[in-house]
Amino acid sequence: MVPLFETKEAKARVSHKVFAATCFVGICLILIYRLVNFPKEEQGGRRRWAWIGIFMADFFFSLFWIITQSVRWSVRHHLPFKDRLSLRHEEKLPGVDIFVCTADPISEPPTLVISTVLSVMSYNYPPEKLSVYLSDDAGSEFTFYALLEASHFSKYWIPFCKKFDVEPRSPEAWFAKKLGEKDKDTTYTQACLTIKKQYQDMKTRIELAIAKGSISKETRNQHKGFSEWNCKVTKQDHQSIVQIIVDGRDTNAVDKEGCQLPTLVYMAREKRPGCPHNFKAGAMNALIRVSSVISNGPVILNLDCDMYANDGDAIREALCFLLDEKREHEIAFVQHPQRFDNICKNDLYANSYLVVNQVELAGIDSYDAALYCGTGCFHRRESLCGAKYPKDYRNINEAKNNDNRSVDELERASKVLASCSYEKNTHWGKEMGLVYGCAAEDVVTGLTIQCRGWKSMYFKPNKPAFLGVAPVTLDIALVQMKRWSEGMFQIFLSKYCPFIYGHGKIKFGAQMGYCNYLLWAPLSLPTLFYVIVPPLCLGHGISLFPKVSSLWFIPFAYVFVAQNAYSICEALSCGHTLKSWWNLQRMQIIRRTTAFFFGFVDCIVKQMGLSQTAFAITAKVVTEDVMERYEQEMMEFESSSVMFTIVATLAMLNLFSLIGGFIDIIFLDFGALGNLMCQIILCGLMVLVNVPIYEALFIRKDKGCMPFSVMFKSMFLTSLACLLPYV
């Protein structure tokens, strides 16, 4: 029997291996140089301490470079065959439960959330086998009202999408795009105008209710679900709420064409002060339990509320992996890359992750251990619920829901499953569902599933299956990175460290692949050393690198040039421009010296029991002037964040050191130029990378420039560092 998908190895892997081997030799020579040229006592204590620090930094960078090669050593890609799936499985396609999670109606507006819900309700998939669940962790009646409005609008939107093959299926995203050649069709144009007016009217009603801060009595009387808000409901204190808005079993639940509508459910799990709710992991686990009673689809797709469906056939493509007769029984989940529809031309904040998506994640897939990234992932329900492979394996079509209880009975039963007390003395959050106690609950959950014997796959289709909203301000981008780096380093320091927990359970290459991300936070330390100590040493005339005329200079030059040349080629091959590659270099330095460093510190503090895990929600809404600057590729520094103080201080330190170093060489000791050339180059590159920082400090006058308080603090700290004796 022909397979439902095929796998192909990426090209140019041999040339990469040759390149990696030569770089490895260069790195070894650099470390040897550090050891054999260790400063003697008469050369001064300052240089000795700086030398020890730079050796440790070089050593960590070398280890991390080796780890990064694990995800580049063997890269593969998959190609599904949807036509074969239809021929063999059309009559027995499994039920699919789609989980959409939201946590704050301000940071994640209800109109944004329902666009995602409407996009997944419109999939090219039998509606009677499709169930959509919205988890509202804020318990907001405005989100419930928006979902109720969306259920009415779906009766028109779903048939419109399928009749005209609309892509993307998010109304907000689709109406924001040009309608294209089909505009010439009068029938199509009229349908567009009608559906757009209906959508705008719906949005207006929702936004007016939110602006007023209340929902009219007339509207509240239209659905019994509003009675849940008759008592006091706050974001952190409310009862469990489960409302089946559209019952897919009801023959009267049809769209305007008479076709069945998918099941649509609103859930707000119970939250009480003093009761740990475990953030998104807790919400997902409540969804798993509630859905098992209502629909019990053997396949689960989970999405963030801003990650809308961009391809109507995404479910069918994923099922090509989960239903393939040769390998379907061992695949636990199929992960799609996170891709965004609001990336500016040159990717100002390096949010596109082109190299990560096309190379690194595909490289981890070659070890059958694709990472679970928290959104855009199709799960086998049994593997997500703690089943071990092959001990607890069941065919994907065996899970069926034959529950004939009424809607009211199902809602009452579901509320119990979404209560705070349900998980007490159970395996939920440990051996069942998503793992608790970590900000990166998705990554650690994927690891535990793989360690139970399952395999996972990474699938990057040419047409993005899902598109989301990337941060459009530097502050938000760094907060997001801090949360990720902290959560992943927390995994490394826990019992779930891949080298310990995964030993003998997953391949060694997969263990290294995980650490490519788990070690983001400690990567901040050698980076901070390189952007602080060499510039200070330059200002004091202390050399930390070989002379340009020395043979030892060759490995340093080769590794630096070769790595950057390879990085440029890799980036260009993945779709970057030269300018976006340069922006990526800037953002890597900013992330490592701010977000990763704070993530490292917070993680250590929490490991010592001095703090608890917190979860920062990334805001999805920005003002028009911020968006205008983003589209013009101007970095945003409006807030007085401590991270911006660090960014500005490091930029000023390198600028002052470069100027001071040149002055000393020209007027005091021109012969020192050869000894300090490497440090001059490093400082020079840092200055070039930080040009937008200098502009924000001294040139720009718009609202996105550096606040005066940040400029004052950075100037003070830089002056202090340069004037004090270097110890």
Over the chain, what is the mean pLDDT?
91
Higher pLDDT, 170 or 15: 170
Reported confidence tier of residue 310, pLDDT bands at 50, 70, 90: very high
Whether 16 shows a pLDDT value over 60: the answer reads yes
Q: Where are the domains of the chain?
A: 5-70+507-723, 80-338+373-470
Least confident of 53-67, 206-220, 335-349, 398-412: 398-412
The answer to whether residue 401 scores a pLDDT higher than 90 is no
**Is the CA virtual torsion 79, 84, 86, 92 positive or negative?**
negative
State the CATH class of domain 80-338+373-470: alpha beta
Rg (CA), the chain: 28
| Residue 184: predicted pLDDT | 58
| CA–CA separation, 532 and 694 (whole Å) | 17
Q: Which three-class secondary structure state does DSSP give residue 130? A: strand
Q: What is the pLDDT of residue 620?
A: 62
Distances (CA, A) of 560 to 53, 147, 600: 19, 54, 27
Report the alpha-carbon angle 379-7-448, nearest 5.
35
Please tell me whether the peptide bond between 390 and the residue prior to it is cis, using omega within 30 degrees of 0.
yes
Label each residue of 444-457 as H, E or C.
HHHHHHHHCCCEEE
| pLDDT tens profile 226-252 | 999 988 888 899 999 999 999 988 888
425 exposure class (CB count in 10 Å sphere: 0-12, 13-18, 19+): exposed
CA distance 658 to 648: 15
**Cβ(199)–Cβ(173) under 8 Å?**
no
- Give the residue-averaged pLDDT of 323-342: 90
Q: Which residues pair with 304 in a beta bridge?
A: 101
Query: Which pLDDT does position 612 carry in this prediction?
Result: 63
Percentage of the chain exceeding pLDDT 70: 94
The yes-or-no answer on residue 403 being catalytic is no
pLDDT, one tens digit per residue, over 347-391 is: 999 999 999 999 999 999 999 999 999 999 999 999 999 988 887
Amino acid 726: pLDDT? 47
Question: What is the rounded distance in angstroms from the CA atom of residue 376 to the CA atom of residue 387?
Answer: 22
682 neighbors 532 (Cβ within 8 angstroms): no
Q: Which of 391-395, 406-410, 568-572 has the lowest mean pLDDT?
A: 391-395
Candidate from 8-12, 209-213, 262-266, 722-726 with smallest mean pLDDT: 722-726
Residue pair 96/318 in contact by the 8 Å Cβ criterion? no
Catalytic residue, chosen from 137, 255, 304, 311, is: 137
Q: Determine the pLDDT at residue 380.
A: 95
Residue type for 87, please? L
Tell me the C-alpha distance between 453 and 436, whole Å.
21
Residue 185 has pLDDT above 80, yes or no: no
Confidence of residue 725 (pLDDT cuts 50, 70, 90): low
- Is the predicted pLDDT of residue 95 greater than 90, yes or no? yes
DSSP for residue 214: S
In the predicted model, is pLDDT for residue 183 greater than 60? no
State residue 619's pLDDT score: 61
CB 630, CB 583: distance < 8 Å: no
pLDDT at 727 over 50: no
If we measure between CA atoms, which residue out of 139, 162, 134, 138 comes closest to residue 149? 134
Per-residue pLDDT at 693: 96
- CA neighbours closer than 13 Å in the CB half-sphere of residue 655: 18
Distance CA 713, CA 474 (A): 19
List the single range of 182-196, 408-422, 478-492 with lowest mean pLDDT: 182-196
Token pair in block for residue 411: 């809602």
What sign for the dihedral angle of Cα 512, 514, 518, 524?
A: positive
How far apart CA 92 and CA 106 sit, in angstroms, is 41
Q: Which of 365, 368, 442, 602 is labelled catalytic?
A: 442
From CA 713, how far away is CA 690, in angstroms rounded?
Answer: 17
- Structure tokens belonging to residue 54: 């730079």
137 is catalytic: yes
For residues 300-316, average pLDDT: 95
Q: How far apart are CA 416 and CA 240, in angstroms?
A: 8
Q: Does the pLDDT at position 613 exceed 70?
A: no
Cβ-contact 267, 134 below 8 angstroms:
yes
DSSP state of 57: H
pLDDT category of residue 584 using cuts at 50, 70 and 90: very high
